[in-house]
Amino acid sequence: MDHFAHRDGVLHCEDVALPAIAEAVGTPVYVYSAATFRRHARVFREGLAGVPRKHLAYAIKANPNLAVLRLLADEGYGADVVSGGEMARALAAGMPASEIVFSGVGKTPAELARGLDANNGGGIGQFNLELEEEGEVLAALAAARGLRAPAVLRVNPDVDAGTHAKISTGRKENKFGVPIDQAPAMFARLAALPGLDLRGVAIHIGSQLGDLAPLEAAYRRIGQLVAELRGAGHVISHVDLGGGLGVPYKPDDTMPSPAAYGAMVARVTDGWDAELMFEPGRVIAGNAGVLLTRVIWVKPGVVHPYVIVDAAMNDLARPALYDAWHDFVAVSPSGTRMVANIAGPVCESGDTFAMGRDIDAVASGDLAVFRTAGAYGATMASTYNSRALVPEVLVDGDRYAVVADRVTPETLIAAERVPDWL
């Protein structure tokens, strides 16, 4: 469910008509619904009601806007970060350092140190280790500060999530985690280091998962690992189960609900006696945003016309990267339909959002939206073709605010330098 709906023939975000935002801010522009973020955050939490001990950390990479993070912090969410920059955003948004989980396969020593030094030297809540050397470096950094860094070891269960290859992370050939068969010996070596409080294990097999079966298989494997580690005398107090629940992009998509996911988790983890950690991202942010765009031209084509919009692959990269589907809806539909290709103005044939799709009929100057763009939209935007960086707007009831400015080519040029010798 989201809070984007047509009223009197005009698409609204909550109580704000989208043409009003287009007039004030221009297009393209991301528009987010605060009510949808809040609802999804609460529904996910409610879905895990059967899990007695849990920690919820929003995956910042899905949508790192400071206003979004503040909103989710108010809903009681911590942060799952994968870079020093994301950690800085979480802290700037008011998320407690103790609620931050630092994931990611390429954390640098400087980033590890930054995590230890956060919270006036109290450090962040947890480091998810991706390899033994990383654990050794973190242990040395922590020991030099008189600390024991709270950490878990991420394992790779060799489970195919059944999702797009570029967002699958749990197969043995993926770069994430350590092979599960090597985990017990590695855990023992790392647990002996004085600078580490190695308190558990972590797992994450991919994103946009539409089937709970791979998750259940992965969780059962990590449950066996927990039992093996405890049998060897290790104290396992935390198990990080990651995120990855999918969202419906097409009108007829069906995805597991947070309630169904929570029921599976409660059943599989019964008796684990550990705090379970979750990192939802897309499932909270995806349907909370749209990319509002204006039609520049409807260009005749050999097979179908091309609807050329002012949004492009630099604003919304998912279709170019993953052949992803985003529903295209007219802001003020006429009631008629057309079959067309939808493309942006970037000088790439890959700057195409859809081919031969049945859509609302549109003409030059009309407004439309790409739906389900609240996750992996603005966060992946670039300035390719020297285009402006797309702005973001947050709507809350009948009010809205620009929460990220349009960064213009002039601003970008001002940050560049031509050396004197040219």
Task: Kindly provide the b/e burial profile for residues 96-130, where b requires at least 16 CB atoms within 10 angstroms of the residue's own CB.
Answer: bbebbbbbbeebeeebbbbbbbbeeeebbbbbbbb
User: For 311-348, what is each residue's pLDDT tens digit?
Assistant: 999 999 999 998 999 999 999 999 999 999 999 999 99
Domain boundaries, the chain: 4-32+286-414, 104-278
- When pLDDT is averaged across residues 206-223 and rounded to a whole number, the result is 89
Confidence at residue 175, expressed as pLDDT on a 0 to 100 scale: 66
Choose the weakest-confidence range: 20-29, 252-261, 287-296, 334-343. Answer: 252-261
Question: Could you give phi then psi for residue 392, rounded to 5 degrees?
Answer: -135, 140
Q: Which fold has domain 4-32+286-414?
A: Lyase, Ornithine Decarboxylase; Chain A, domain 1 (2.40.37)
Report whether 370 contacts 290 (CB < 8 A): yes
Task: Tell me whether domains 4-32+286-414 and 104-278 share a fold.
Answer: no
User: For 26-35, what is each residue's pLDDT tens digit?
Assistant: 999 999 999 9
Q: Which residue among the candidates 347, 415, 418, 422 is catalytic per the annotation?
A: 347
**Whole-model pTM?**
0.94
Confidence at residue 166, expressed as pLDDT on a 0 to 100 scale: 47
Whether 347 is a known active-site residue: answer: yes
If we measure between CA atoms, which residue out of 150, 139, 146, 69 comes closest to residue 102? Answer: 150
Residue type, 266: A
Asked whether the predicted pLDDT for residue 22 surpasses 80, the reply is yes
Superfamily of domain 104-278, CATH level 4: Alanine racemase (3.20.20.10)
Confidence at residue 170, expressed as pLDDT on a 0 to 100 scale: 43
Confidence at residue 177, expressed as pLDDT on a 0 to 100 scale: 79
- In this structure, the dihedral spanned by the alpha carbons of residues 398, 401, 406 and 407, taken in order and rounded to 10 degrees, is -170
Asked whether the predicted pLDDT for residue 362 surpasses 50, the reply is yes
Distance separating alpha carbons of residues 139 and 169, to the nearest angstrom? 26
Confidence bin at 206 (pLDDT 50/70/90) = confident
Distance separating alpha carbons of residues 92 and 422, to the nearest angstrom? 40
Confidence at residue 165, expressed as pLDDT on a 0 to 100 scale: 52
